[in-house]
Structure 1
Amino acid sequence: MRSALLTSFCAALCCAAVISAGAKAQAAPESSAAPLSLATPATWTPAADGTVLLAAESAAPAFSSSTDAADVDASLPDAPVPAGEGQAGAAHLPSTQPIAPKYTVVILPGQGAVPLSAGSKVIFGFREVSSPFSLFADVLSATYSQAVDSQPHYGQGWGPYGQRVGAAVVRGSIQGLATQAVFDPIFRDDPRYYVLGRQHKFLNRVVYAATRVVITRTDSGHNTLNAPLLLGYAAAAGANFAYYPERDRDFGDAATGYAGSLGGSVLGMEVNEFLDDALHIIHFRRN
Structure 2
Amino acid sequence: MRPALFSSLCAAAVCAISIPAIAACQADSAASAQAVDLSTPHAAVNATLLAEATAAPAFSSSAAMEPSEALSGLPDAPSATLDGAAEGQSASPHLPAPNQPIAPKYTIIILPGQGAVPLSAGSKVAFAFRQEVSPFTMLSRVLSATWSQAIDSQPHYGQGWGPYGQRVGASFARGAVQDLATMAVFDPIFRDDPRYYVLGRQHKLINRAVYAATRVLITRTDSGHNTLNAPLLLGYAAAAGANMAYYPQRDRNFGDAATGYAGSLGGSVLGFEVNEFLDDALRLVHFRHD
Shared fold (TM-score greater than 0.5)? yes
Equivalent pairs counted in the alignment come to: 218
- Give the match for residue 263 of structure 1: 266
Does the CA-based 8 Å contact 2:84-2:91 persist in structure 1?
A: no
Question: For 1:276 and 1:216, how far apart are their aligned partners in 2?
Answer: 20
Q: CA deviation at 1:154?
A: 1.1
- Give the match for residue 234 of structure 2: 231
Question: For 2:210 and 2:98, how far apart are their aligned partners in 1?
Answer: 32
Cα 1:218/1:156, change in 2 over 3 Å:
same
Match of 1:94 among 92, 98, 103: 98
Does the CA-based 8 Å contact 2:124-2:187 persist in structure 1?
A: yes
Cα 1:93/1:149, change in 2 over 3 Å:
closer
Does the CA-based 8 Å contact 2:80-2:91 persist in structure 1?
A: no
Q: Which amino acid aligns with 1:56?
A: G
- Give the match for residue 29 of structure 2: none
Question: For 1:217 and 1:79, how far apart are their aligned partners in 2?
Answer: 15
Which portions of structure 1, spanning 4 or more consecutive aligned residues, are displaced by more than 2 angstroms? Answer: 37-45, 54-59, 77-80, 92-95
Cα 1:281/1:55, change in 2 over 3 Å:
farther
Gaps of 5+ in 1: 1-21, 25-36, 46-53, 62-76, 81-91
Bigger fraction of residues in helix: 2
Gaps of 5+ in 2: 1-58, 62-66, 70-74
Question: For 2:223 and 2:281, how far apart are their aligned partners in 1?
Answer: 30
> Equivalent residues in 2 for 1:73-84 (5 A)?
79=92
Q: CA deviation at 1:194?
A: 0.4
Q: Which amino acid aligns with 1:99?
A: I
1:166 has 2:203 as partner: no
Question: For 1:245 and 1:118, how far apart are their aligned partners in 2?
Answer: 36
Q: Which amino acid aligns with 2:250?
A: R
Paired residue secondary structure (1:212): helix
TM-score, length basis structure 1: 0.70
Give RMSD over aligned pairs. Answer: 2.6
- Give the match for residue 214 of structure 1: 217
Deviations 1:89-135 (A, max 9, x none): xxx9422x100000000000000000000000001111112222212
Higher relative contact order (CA 8 A, sep 6+): 1
Question: For 2:123 and 2:83, how far apart are their aligned partners in 1?
Answer: 18
TM-score, length basis structure 2: 0.69
Q: Which amino acid aligns with 1:119?
A: G
Question: For 1:58 and 1:232, how far apart are their aligned partners in 2?
Answer: 37
Aligned residues with identical type, % of pairs: 74
Q: Which amino acid aligns with 2:98?
A: P
- Give the match for residue 124 of structure 1: 127
Cα 1:99/1:149, change in 2 over 3 Å:
same
